[in-house]
Amino acid sequence: MTVAATSIAFAAAAVVYSLSTVAFFAHLWRGGKRWSLIAMVCLGLGTVPHAAFAIGHLLRSPGPVLGSIYDTLAVGSLLVAVAYLATMRKHRLTVLGAFITPVTLLMLLGSGVEAKVAQVSDSVRSAILPVHVLVNILGIVAFALAFGVAIAYVIQEQMLRRRQLGGVFRRLPALDVLDSLGLRLVTIGFPLFTVGMLTGSLWAVRIGAGHVRFSPGQGFAVLAWAFFAIVLLSRAAAGWRGRRAAIGTMLGFLCTMAAMAGYVLRGMALEGS
């Protein structure tokens, strides 16, 4: 694909995802099958130019495939949208798109920064980088879905406490459904993210030749891992359920997003230097 075609695909995906986000929020607040249908159709249609953009982005990347944070964001945001469409269709949890689609849009926009990335040796790329990136992407996809579920849980639980039992409360899934789904998604994402952390550490040691610098992005990644570890450990050992687990999941994913933002800002700094 040409640069112009890739840019058009990027813009088209961003616009359609924005329309989908608006429709999802309209469905959340006003209800009705019309808004739900519009939101789902827009999201599904948005994956087409998104896929075209991701392919064009990867083909034009000067380094290895999935060798930069921008590649990760382009592919990861697409997989979040696809995973949501597959998962929510199965569980009939369409309303959660109001919390998940904005994440997809934000990640897509981050992938369009197009800043410089640090180059690494061919040996490190071939041995470690593909595994590191792949498991991180899959882990982030699971965490993104868990984040949307956690937000819905906190809102639902607050409305139940205040006895606001109409409108949005009726459209959100039951608390036990959200808690169970959130646990399942974090359980899927955590081992993937853990493997990503381990391979990333090994990669950093190999390219650093014993002089490893701890970046803010890496710090947020470790913090994210710690939050998700606490959520799972506390569920198993202390019987955590509901609100505390949902808040821990939200904090973990926000740290994950902060880690990715750190790498994007690092690339922008390299671009300006």
- pLDDT 10s digits, 169-189: 888 888 999 999 999 999 999
The rounded distance, in Å, linking the Cα atoms of 142 and 163 is: 31
Mean pLDDT within 29-51: 92
Amino acid at 33: K
The pTM (predicted TM-score) of the whole model is: 0.87
Q: What is the mean pLDDT of the chain?
A: 84
| 61 alpha carbon, distance to own chain's centre | 21
Where does the pLDDT of residue 129 fall: very low under 50, low under 70, confident under 90, or very high at 90 and above? confident
DSSP letter, residue 173: P
Mean pLDDT within 75-93: 86
Cβ(116)–Cβ(270) under 8 Å? yes
Q: What's the pLDDT score for residue 41?
A: 95
Burial environment of residue 222 by CB neighbours within 10 A (0 to 12, 13 to 18, 19 or more): middle
Helix then strand then coil, % of the chain, to nearest 5: 85, 0, 15
Cβ(22)–Cβ(43) under 8 Å? no
The rounded distance, in Å, linking the Cα atoms of 84 and 24 is: 13
Q: What's the pLDDT score for residue 77?
A: 95
Q: How many of the other CB atoms lie within 10 Å of CB of 242?
A: 15
Asked if pLDDT for residue 116 goes beyond 50, the answer is: no
Handedness of CA 76, 82, 83, 85 (dihedral sign): positive
Asked if pLDDT for residue 272 goes beyond 60, the answer is: no
Mean pLDDT within 157-169: 83
Residues with Cβ within 8 Å of 258's Cβ and at least 6 positions away in sequence, in order, are 217, 220, 224
Query: Which single residue is written with the structure tokens 């569980």?
Result: 91
Mean pLDDT within 258-265: 84
242: three-class secondary structure by DSSP:
coil
> How many domains, the chain?
1
DSSP letter, residue 61: -
Domain, as residue range, for 261: 3-272
Cβ(113)–Cβ(267) under 8 Å? yes
Asked if pLDDT for residue 44 goes beyond 90, the answer is: yes
The rounded distance, in Å, linking the Cα atoms of 164 and 155 is: 11
Structure tokens at 133: 């990136």
